[in-house]
Each structure stands twice: as C-alpha cells, then as structure tokens.
Amino acid sequence: MRSIGIEIFYWLQNWSDDQPSAFSKARAIGFDAVEVSLIAGPDTPIAAMRAELDALGLGVFASMGLPRDKDITSPDESTRRAGIEYLKRCVETAAQLGSPILGGLPYVPWLYFPPERDLRPFRDRSAQAMREVAATASDNGVTICIELINRFETFIFNTVAEGLVYLKQIDQPAVRLQLDTYHMNMEEDDLPAAIRLAGAQLGHFHCADSNRKPPGGGHINWSAIKGALDAVQYSGPLVIECFPNPAAETGRTVNTWRPLVSDFDDEAARALSLLRQHVA
C-alpha cells in the first residue's frame, strides 16, 4: 500500500509556527509521514524536526516556496543566480532532513504574476535554472517535484501536458511532476487521464477534494484516482494538503473564507481512512 502523510500546516496558524509541535497529532491519528515546509529556506532548523520524526517513527517529505528576491524566472541575472544557489542549499537541507523529495514551488514565486504579455521567457529562464539545480539534487539523492497549481496561483504552467513540456526543457531525471487533485480539478478535463499522461514522471501526489476540503468533502472520484495511480505504477506517498482555517494566516493565504472542517483531528482521521480504503 502507498504510505499516507499530511501537510503539517493543516494544524498550524502561521507560516512561522513550530512545525514539529504538530507531529504528534499526525502520529496519533495514524499517518505514516508528514510533509514539512522549508519556510525559512535552507536555514530551517531541521535538527529539531529530525529528532521528533525519529521519536515518533514518522517519514518526512519536504516542500518549499521561492522568495521574490531569489526568483529564477527573473530577467535580472543576479536575482536568478541568487535563486539557483538558494535552491541548491534547499536541496541539501532536504537531504539532511531525510526527505527523498523537494516539492512545492521551487520553480517560481507563489502568487506572483509579471506584467509582461509574453510569459515564455519566464518559463525558459525557470527551466534553465532548474537544469543546473537538478545536478545538485541528483548528487544528494533528492528528486525535485514541481507542483502543478491552478491559474490563480501561478502562470508558469497549470496542466500535466504543460508540465511535461517544462520537464522536457529541463531534461534531467532528478526533476519530476507533483500533482494535486484540488488544482487538477480546476485545470484538467479528466483527472485520471491526466495522471495517466504524467505516467513515470509522477514523483509526488497531493490529495485534497474539489473544494480544498480533506478527501471525502467534495466530488472527486477517489476510486478513479486509485485506478489511474495503479495504471502508472505510482508507488510514492499520498499527502493530504488542506488549509482549512479561515482565521489563520495559512488559510487566509489561500483564500479560505469559511471553515472547511468542524473538527480538525476527526476530519483528518476520516480522510485518512478514506484514502487507506479507496486509494492507497
């Protein structure tokens, strides 16, 4: 069976909160792993994370976001160079933490939209930079998994077909796709078909329902998702990623304006049970 994890900011209020403080909740509910964010970049205090992970017997997956002042899509060469070196250090931090991947948005700053009409140069610069970072990832045994997110959160690419074109530009095996059912529900005509199109390039998989609630709270056909994952022989983890609290910085960042769960722990346990039964 595929292992199941949860993005730890499901429980946290602010992006600066202590992530290990919520690890015990994930273990008590029955998750196999947690996904953490290198929110502080390569200087994230990973020793405390690693100690708590070991104490609880949890696996770990690392994600990240790219700061604007280190934007590898930028026309400014010094900004791109700063971003490349930053990403290399993040890869090394993920390896030290014990994560097999570095996922999320290493390829573009989140929620940034340049004013230029022709966006192709931004994509090209991103791919060129990622090609260099991929060598560091390969040396450290880390796979960079670029998350495909919806059109309201990035312009670089939004569909599997577009992501595969980007991977072809990079042409490095250490970079693969990360899919998220919430974003896919917005952008793909057929979710199972998109998973099949990703095929062997699928490196990491996020689970959230059509309305960004935990799995089971919307209309996604999870049995069909399992069929597609089985068809492409995906053996990686399933990670629940939701930001359900409208009163928290984490929820407000993704425009959560109403509570998406009534009881955080109960809803997490219910979603875990659904994934174990119908997808894992």
Here the tokens at position 228 are 């597609």
Compute the distance between CA of residue 96 and CA of residue 21 in angstroms, rounded to an integer: 20
Identify residue 38 by its one-letter amino acid code: L
Here the tokens at position 182 are 């919430």
Phi-psi group of 48: left, alpha or beta (phi > 0 → left; psi -120 to 50 → alpha; rest → beta): alpha
Compute the distance between CA of residue 32 and CA of residue 95 in angstroms, rounded to an integer: 19
HSE of 47, CA atoms in CB hemisphere, 13 A: 1
Question: Cβ distance 19 to 49 under 8 Å?
Answer: yes
Among the options 7, 52, 188, 241, which is catalytic? 241
Q: State yes or no: is 153 an active-site residue.
A: no
Q: By C-alpha distance, which of 157, 180, 152 is closest to 169?
A: 157
Q: By C-alpha distance, which of 81, 83, 84 is closest to 71?
A: 83
Q: State yes or no: is 187 an active-site residue.
A: no
Among the options 147, 153, 188, 267, which is catalytic? 147
Question: Cβ distance 94 to 54 under 8 Å?
Answer: no
Query: At CB < 8 A and 24+ separation, what contacts does 261-269 make?
Result: 261/213, 261/214, 261/217, 264/10, 264/11, 265/25, 265/29, 267/213, 267/214, 267/217, 268/6, 268/10, 268/25, 268/26, 268/29, 268/31, 268/214, 268/240, 269/29, 269/30
Q: Which residues are catalytic?
A: 147, 241
